[in-house]
C-alpha cells in the first residue's frame, strides 16, 4: 500500500482483497489488515506529498515525461489529478482516496499547492481507511463464498485468465505508447 501511494503500479485492488481473503481463512485480523493498509497508504502519500511540496511543477512534469512510463504514470493522469485538486480544493484529497487511479496521484498536486500537512494527513487517513476497509471486506466476502463459486470459476478459468492477461498487456502497451500516440 505504501508503494502504491508512492506512485508505483502496485494496485490496492489486489493487495487488500487478498488480505481480506486471509482474514476469512483465519490467518489475519480484519482490523489489523485495514489499519495496516491505511497506514501504508498514508506513508506512501506523505512521500508523494513531500515530492510535490519540495519540487517545482516543471521538474515534476519533466520527471513524469522521462520516467513516468516505467511506473505507468502519464502526464495526462497527473494533470487530471491536479485539475481536480484545483477545482474541488482540499476536500478532493479525501474523496479521491475512494477512486481508483486518481487516488494515487492526488498527493503530488496537494504538495505543490502546499496544503496544510495535518489536513492532508487527516483526509488521506480517513479516505484510505474507508478504501482499505471496503477492499478488505470484498476479499473477506469472496473468500467466504469461494467454495460456491469455485466450480464456475474452474469452467471458465482459462477464458478468465486470457481476458485478464490481454487486458493487462493492452494497458501496459497503451501506457508505454506502443499503440496510438506514435509520431509519424
Alpha carbon distance 142, 10 (integer Å): 21
Which pairs from 170-179 meet CB under 8 Å and 24+ separation?
A: 171/72, 172/72, 175/69, 175/72, 175/74, 176/69, 177/69
Per residue in 10-29, pLDDT (tens digit) is 778 888 988 998 999 999 99
Most confident listed range (15-24, 65-74, 100-109, 141-150):
15-24
Q: What is the pLDDT of residues 47-87, one digit of tens each?
A: 999 988 998 888 888 888 888 777 667 788 778 777 877 78
**Average pLDDT across the chain, whole number:** 81
3-class SS letters over 126-159: HHHHHHHHHHHHHHHHHHHCHHHHHHHHHHCHHH
> Which residue in the block uniquely carries the three cell numbers 496544510?
116
Per-residue model confidence (pLDDT) at position 184: 42
How many residues appear in the chain? Answer: 184
At 98 the pLDDT is 81
CB 12 within 8 A of CB 135: yes
Residue 160 burial (CB count, 10 A)? 11
Pairwise CA distance, residues 70 & 177, whole Å: 12
- Say whether pLDDT at 152 is over 70: no
- Higher confidence at residue 126 or residue 106? 126
Share of the chain above pLDDT 90, in %: 29
All three cell numbers of 139: 476479499
Question: Running DSSP on this structure, what letter comes out for residue 56?
Answer: -
Amino acid at each position: 500500500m505504501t508503494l502504491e501511494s508512492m506512485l508505483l503500479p502496485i494496485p490496492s485492488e489486489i493487495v487488500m482483497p487478498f488480505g481480506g481473503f486471509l482474514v476469512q481463512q483465519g490467518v489475519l485480523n480484519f482490523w489489523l489488515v485495514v489499519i495496516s493498509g491505511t497506514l501504508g497508504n498514508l506513508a506512501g502519500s506523505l512521500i508523494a506529498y513531500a515530492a510535490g511540496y519540495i519540487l517545482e511543477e516543471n521538474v515534476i512534469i519533466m520527471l513524469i515525461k522521462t520516467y513516468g512510463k516505467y511506473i505507468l504514470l502519464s502526464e495526462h493522469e497527473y494533470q487530471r489529478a491536479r485539475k481536480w485538486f484545483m477545482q474541488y480544493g482540499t476536500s478532493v484529497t479525501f474523496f479521491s482516496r475512494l477512486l481508483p487511479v486518481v487516488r494515487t496521484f492526488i498527493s503530488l498536486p496537494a504538495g505543490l499547492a502546499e496544503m496544510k500537512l495535518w489536513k492532508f494527513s487527516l483526509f488521506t487517513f480517513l479516505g484510505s481507511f474507508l478504501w482499505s476497509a471496503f477492499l478488505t471486506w470484498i476479499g473477506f466476502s469472496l473468500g467466504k463464498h469461494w467454495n460456491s463459486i469455485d466450480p464456475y470459476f474452474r469452467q471458465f478459468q482459462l477464458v478468465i485468465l486470457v481476458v485478464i492477461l490481454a487486458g493487462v498487456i493492452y494497458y501496459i502497451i497503451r501506457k508505454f505508447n506502443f499503440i496510438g500516440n506514435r509520431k509519424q
